[in-house]
Amino acid sequence: EVQLVQSGAEVKKPGESLKISCKGSGYSFTSYWIGWVRQMPGKGLEWMGIIYPGDSDTRYSPSFQGQVTISADKSISTAYLQWSSLKASDTAMYYCARSRDGMDVWGQGTTVTVSS
Amino acid sequence: DIQMTQSPSSLSASVGDRVTITCRASQGISNYLAWYQQKPGKVPKLLIYAASTLQSGVPSRFSGSGSGTDFTLTISSLQPEDVATYYCQKYNSALQHTFGQGTKLEIK
């Protein structure tokens, strides 16, 4: 079965760092882009960026460039999304998804709550 | 940046109705357009890609059309389980896979 499994919910304080993960299985992880999507509470989907695990080619939405870092470790079929200094406005659900013609396989989502 | 604008933002329709949601790109994107369904509290689901290709397992009452800047998602006969928010997304380059703002569909 093709699936993406994300790491669990996180509760952090402003200024803390965080790295969440997305592990792929059931397909060739290095042959598909992995995208990250933010959904703030009660809001729509926002495309953050994308990585090709085969060569780590990474592209960011201008809205998220410099705010987050997307990376991947192809040896363990895992993509990451990280923050160096969280803000309260980073509170959201974050999804990873396999991306080729659209995003066809999604992770279950990781809730990130940033609160003092 | 190419903007994606959906209309309407919300709509209410009766079971059995034909429902159409539109998505307009600010520049041409050929047919690099996908549609998603997100039910409350659930993960988004790909319905259609390449503007008109139905994703495997998606009911045939869903269809997509369009090319260039104007696209539509049609539900031929609305069912209660179709209550959801629908999003379009462009993916014509690796630079920006922008989503539309969403259309919330309810049953009248």
Could you read off the pLDDT of B26-82 as tens digits, one per residue?
999 999 999 999 999 999 999 999 999 999 999 999 999 999 999 999 999 999 999
Average pLDDT, chain A: 97
Residue A40, pLDDT score: 98
Is the predicted pLDDT of residue B20 greater than 80, yes or no? Answer: yes
Q: Is-contact B25 B3, C-beta < 8 A?
A: yes
* SS3 of residue B100 by DSSP: coil
Is the predicted pLDDT of residue B95 greater than 90, yes or no? Answer: no
Residues of A in contact with B46 (CB under 8 A): 102-104
Chain A residue with the nearest C-alpha to that of B94: A59
Q: Per-residue DSSP letters for B51-63?
A: TTEEPTT--TTEE
Is the predicted pLDDT of residue B94 greater than 70, yes or no? Answer: no
Q: How confident is the model at residue A57 (pLDDT cuts 50, 70, 90)?
A: very high
Do B46 and A61 count as a contact with CB atoms less than 8 A apart? no
Q: Is-contact A90 A114, C-beta < 8 A?
A: yes
Is the predicted pLDDT of residue A21 greater than 70, yes or no? Answer: yes
Do A45 and B102 count as a contact with CB atoms less than 8 A apart? yes
Q: How confident is the model at residue B93 (pLDDT cuts 50, 70, 90)?
A: confident
Rounded to an integer, the average pLDDT of A17-24 is 98
**Distance between CA atoms of A105 and B23, rounded to whole angstroms?**
22
Rounded to an integer, the average pLDDT of A4-27 is 98
**Distance between CA atoms of B18 and A12, rounded to whole angstroms?**
46
Q: Is-contact A97 A32, C-beta < 8 A?
A: no
Rounded to an integer, the average pLDDT of B80-100 is 92
